[in-house]
Structure 1
Amino acid sequence: MTTTATWTVDRAAEELLRREDTRTDGPPLTDSWPELDLDTAYRIQDETLRLRLARGETLIGVKLGLTSRAKQQRMNVDSPLVAWLTDAMILPAGAPVPRERLIHPRAEPEIAFVMGRSLTGPGVTAATAICAVDQVFAGIEIIDSRYRDFRFTLPDVVADNASSGAFVTGALGRDPGELNLALEGCVVESGGTVVHTATGAAVQGHPAEALALAANTLARRGHRIEAGWLVLTGGVTDAVPLPPGGYVTTEFTGLGRITVGG
């Protein structure tokens, strides 16, 4: 059993990447490191990104996690978080879920922004955030966790890059001014059965609020959202398990339909 005294930011980052690379889950860091706080967890997350870039991945954007009450209640946490996206997480449209590198995948619908301009906090509002968006897409994030049974505290999941796994975006890009994103409806089907419905208002009241939150959170860590980046604004509904052979479909009112599985 790892003890509190043996944990460091570097070692925690290496351990989480080792679990990811070997498809091995384990206990939350806080089981043996109860003093782990959010600031340290974000340092672990940033060190994990540094290791990803060192092995050839490219930073392409950010993702938000736990932005909806449904997700917060399921995971027993009470605050959203921000994490990194790299090109290694891209799932091409129509490609099967890469089960060979995932432990226990779950799918959740997302509203995704492609940034037309950079966005630098602090003080970013939803109104200024949405003005920096070039296009809006439907998305599905395939979340995974390096913690057994998805059991974690908020610092644990921050350190684990917000349960990042893979993601796919739809083919239809829309101008944000063409849509009422708070009212953008979403229907989630698993195996042909409707399991969740929601609107974009489930994401912090409006997905642009989540984008502003990301910019302001990153500013406190010395980062900004860059032009050209993709931003996944967080699950519109709770996540749906993706068993082998299973399929999940999300259909948005104005952003189209995506199916993942296999």
Structure 2
Amino acid sequence: MSKLAVFENVARRIRRAYVGVPIDPVGPEIGPQNLEGAYKVQQLNTSFRTRAGEAVVGRKIGLTSPVVQKQLGVDQPDYGVLFESMRVANGATIDRSKLLQPRIEGEIALAFRADMRTAPTSLAELVDAVDWLSPALEIVDSRICNWQIGIVDTIADNASSGLFVIGNQRLRPREVDTVGCTMQLYANGEIVSQGTGAACLGDPYLAALWLVKKMIALNEPLKAGEVIMTGALGPMVTVHADTHYQLKVDGFGACDVTFS
């Protein structure tokens, strides 16, 4: 079987898992450290979804924690694709049974004012290109059984993407502290996760800069207005039914979602 045939087979199995049951890890088939192959699988499923009429609305950045990178044996983040069908309105209720094994984390989302066709030469230049920032919740989900993932598994599985919630706030870059801000995630009023902006690759802007450069290198530059989920500010937690989750980020505001 050719490499492409292997990748196509893995991509089909991941697609089926969305509406079925989680599958065994796919890393052994793709290659334990074959990141290029994993992104090829991701791209195959992105193409499948866009051909079916789904709209790409942004990107998410994963593996922004140095601790998690070390656990998976990598020295860089990864990325996945955000589709309009993944967007959930702030304050909405989600049927927990529609997801496989969801977890939730607090993040900062942002968008750029113009297409990012040229890499910024400094962090300050990147900040100047940002249109807005907002608190955001990412509901990650894995099509891999029991979250038994390595780096190849999560990349192939669209960086373990599920759903995302963007707060109503649209803050300007100079209005907020992306490094020193504190984050609290509440479940039915009790804190279940805490962190800071510095937990996201040292600064969410640094995560965004990595993504900008990565997408330019792939000749897929980020577009103006696309949502960029910059990465977790603290530990992700398991999602439970009949639970209200609220995110508060100091200086950014709040957003929330409920699972039925």
TM-score (norm 1): 0.91
Q: Find the aligned partners of 2:116 and 2:235 in 1 and give their Cα distance.
A: 28
For residues 194 and 157 of structure 1, the distance between their equivalents in structure 2, rounded to whole angstroms, comes to 27
Shift of 1:248: 2.2
Tell me which moved more, 198-207 or 140-149: 198-207
8 Å Cα contact 1:71/1:237 also seen in 2: no
Secondary structure, in 3 states, of the residue corresponding to 2:89? coil
Alignment of 1:134-149 (within 5 A): 134-149=131-146
SS at match of 1:120: coil
Query: Which residue of 2 is the match for residue 19 of structure 1?
Result: 17
Return the offset for 1:34: 3.5
| TM-score, reference length from structure 2 | 0.91
State the number of aligned residues: 258
Quickly say closer, same or farther: Cα 1:31–1:4, change in 2 above 3 A: farther
- In the alignment, which residue of structure 1 is the partner of 2:123? 126
Structure 1 173/5 Cα, relative in aligned 2: closer, same or farther at 3 Å?
closer
Task: Specify the alignment match of 2:43 in structure 1.
Answer: 46
Per-residue Cα deviation, 1:79-137 (whole angstroms, up to 9, x for no partner): 31011111010011222124343101111001000221121355654322222110100
Task: Tell me which residue corresponds to 2:226.
Answer: 229
**Partners of 1:71 and 1:238 within 8 A in 2:** no
Q: Which residue of 1 aligns with 2:83?
A: 86
Q: Which residue of 2 aligns with 1:260?
A: 257
Pick which of 149-158 and 188-197 moved more: 188-197
Q: How many angstroms apart in 1 are the aligned matches of 2:4 and 2:171?
A: 49
Specify the SS of the correspondent of 1:209. helix
Contact kept in structure 2, 1:97 and 1:261, CA below 8 Å? yes
Structure 2 distance, partners of 1:72, 1:250, is 24
State the one-letter code of the partner of 1:144: D
Cα 1:71/1:248, change in 2 over 3 Å? farther
Structure 2 residue aligned with 1:176:
173
Q: CA deviation at 1:178?
A: 0.9
Deviation of the 1:197 alpha carbon: 1.9
How far did residue 192 of structure 1 move?
2.3
**CA distance change for structure 1 residues 245 and 8 in 2, over 3 Å: closer, same or farther?**
same
For structure 1, the residue ranges without an aligned partner over 5 or more in a row are none
Q: Secondary structure of 1:93's match? A: coil
Offset, 1:77:
4.7
